[in-house]
Structure 1
């Protein structure tokens, strides 16, 4: 049984949601957050990244208790979270995506888990899709030479449940046990606020994607060990604010190259960047025969990899230094 902590100096938790053109989902995320968090005293800060769908007005009308920040421009996920976190004075920060829903006391469970395991510094839970099936993307292992080789050659796709050929996904682990992980994904990431400040928050050169991996790997370097608990489970609809698949793919490739440059030993970085190039090159070549295919999906896949390949000079540089 969870016990309500006595708090004399404000809420124990600050929940930060960065919203961008996801009005209905953001409203649902906030609604379920308040509905299912009954034990933990918290504040909710929503940073709206210049949405054009009326998100800010709808949030202000439906949830006057939320601290709403209307940004005049889209600052990206990392900078928006950093600025929102500057307004917090709680013990913990919870980064919550706008395309999530709480169906249980996930936040209460995650806070209790954090208090029982303070050495972790960063904590995450279990994510599922709307139909109840497992969404493995609540956590990942760090990329390595082996994992990038298996991705480039397609072995991770051919054997997605293999701990050998798909190590970044932790193989067959269904996220049903407490386990240390390398990366807690920023859709549902709890961090000790003092550690957040020690790390300087997110590196703002990661405009989109990779900032959570960089944060966790820097925490590990300081001696912390992020943990996952299955008791904190949420629905994550995934990718609602990114609808252009080529743009998303290019951003992911850029962030992965940046992680290689930022966290791999210097003697391995060249190999890592080459494997990222090889990953794109092999898929570009493999899809060339389908450019004029009668199958719409094959044509779309060919166009997708052509766009990623065409942008290779950009993403192979990684993100510029902030």
Structure 2
């Protein structure tokens, strides 16, 4: 009997830089060091006109994956950039990855394996800060009451309805059926909307048994532009049919603060 032939599942990774040059270089080198066997293609979008990154070796040589650099003539939104980068994806899975992610091992083999299971629409890792503490990347539906309890009263999450887009791996078929991110969200809440649309379409979100470091820089609290985009996106979300339907969804699990461990459907 012939031995079974295993065909590697291929992965395309999209990274958007908005002046994150040094972070991007560190991330690409992490991908080279740890994930050369798991990643087939990396697409880096330079969102600011004139933005450059200094990569060595040159993008066309000696990388263990195909490295593509896209340059925007003018800045685009978070979702639109990733949608454009992954529009021609032919790989089995796609990954949306923040430039401020750092790796200490390869997370993508496990992420792709989880995303490829029946009924799974998206997999994601545990996110740690630079001190190794677990970050709150898994969140409850951002209702006005939930946001007030979180921001004003300091309450932790009591359920998980969505996950942030610092690192998401989706089967390409799911990504294309959903048409990626909703580009009406210029910045903020596009990950809430995508998570909810995945679940409303009948798939689930699954945490893979891997972790990575997210050097998060949350700007909405100290930048008027970011605060404006955040509020505008929340208002758009709250007026959407996705949000209205999602209010009837059961939670994926209790929040990490209530019970530690992976989130399961």
TM-score for both structures, normalised by structure 2:
0.80
Preserved contact between residue 220 and residue 230 of structure 2 (Cα < 8 Å): no
Question: How many residues are paired up?
Answer: 236
User: Partners in 1 of 2:98 and 2:200 — Cα distance?
Assistant: 26
Quote the offset at 1:134 in angstroms: 1.7
User: Partners in 2 of 1:217 and 1:123 — Cα distance?
Assistant: 14
SS at match of 2:119: helix
1:295-315 C-alpha deviation (Å, 9 max, x unpaired): xxxxxxxxxxxxxxxxxxxxx
TM-score for both structures, normalised by structure 1:
0.66
Task: Name the structure, 1 or 2, with higher relative contact order (CA <8 Å, separation 6+).
Answer: 2
SS at match of 1:121: strand
RMSD of aligned Cα (Å): 2.6
Quote the offset at 1:250 in angstroms: 2.1
Preserved contact between residue 114 and residue 206 of structure 2 (Cα < 8 Å): no
Going from structure 1 to structure 2, the CA distance change for 1:204 and 1:217 (only over 3 Å counts) comes to same
Structure 2 residue 217 is matched with structure 1 residue 239: yes
Q: What pairs with 1:162-311 in structure 2 (closer than 5 Å)?
A: 166-167=157-158, 170=159, 181-229=160-208, 231-239=209-217, 245-262=223-240, 263-265=242-244
Structure 2 residue 87 is matched with structure 1 residue 86: yes
1:150 aligned residue: 149
Name stretches of at least 5 consecutive residues in structure 1 with no aligned partner: 161-165, 171-180, 269-322
SS at match of 1:44: strand
Preserved contact between residue 22 and residue 241 of structure 1 (Cα < 8 Å): no
Q: What pairs with 1:38-77 in structure 2 (closer than 5 Å)?
A: 38-50=36-48, 52-55=50-53, 58-59=54-55, 62-64=58-60, 65-77=66-78
Going from structure 1 to structure 2, the CA distance change for 1:254 and 1:24 (only over 3 Å counts) comes to same
Quote the offset at 1:222 in angstroms: 1.0
Quote the offset at 1:107 in angstroms: 1.3
1:217-250 C-alpha deviation (Å, 9 max, x unpaired): 1111111111112x22111111388895222222
User: Partners in 2 of 1:41 and 1:105 — Cα distance?
Assistant: 10
User: Partners in 2 of 1:39 and 1:226 — Cα distance?
Assistant: 24
Going from structure 1 to structure 2, the CA distance change for 1:129 and 1:201 (only over 3 Å counts) comes to same
Name stretches of at least 5 consecutive residues in structure 2 with no aligned partner: 61-65, 248-265
Preserved contact between residue 20 and residue 241 of structure 1 (Cα < 8 Å): no
Which of the pair is proportionally richer in helix?
Answer: 1
1:289 aligned residue: none
Quote the offset at 1:141 in angstroms: 2.1
Preserved contact between residue 101 and residue 215 of structure 2 (Cα < 8 Å): yes
Quote the offset at 1:145 in angstroms: 5.2
1:97-133 C-alpha deviation (Å, 9 max, x unpaired): 1111111121122112223x33121111111111212
Quote the offset at 1:184 in angstroms: 2.4
Preserved contact between residue 220 and residue 227 of structure 2 (Cα < 8 Å): no
Going from structure 1 to structure 2, the CA distance change for 1:133 and 1:52 (only over 3 Å counts) comes to farther
1:18 aligned residue: 16
User: Partners in 2 of 1:244 and 1:146 — Cα distance?
Assistant: 22
User: Partners in 1 of 2:141 and 2:14 — Cα distance?
Assistant: 25
Preserved contact between residue 182 and residue 225 of structure 1 (Cα < 8 Å): no
Preserved contact between residue 60 and residue 66 of structure 1 (Cα < 8 Å): no
1:308 aligned residue: none
Going from structure 1 to structure 2, the CA distance change for 1:126 and 1:114 (only over 3 Å counts) comes to same
Quote the offset at 1:62 in angstroms: 4.5
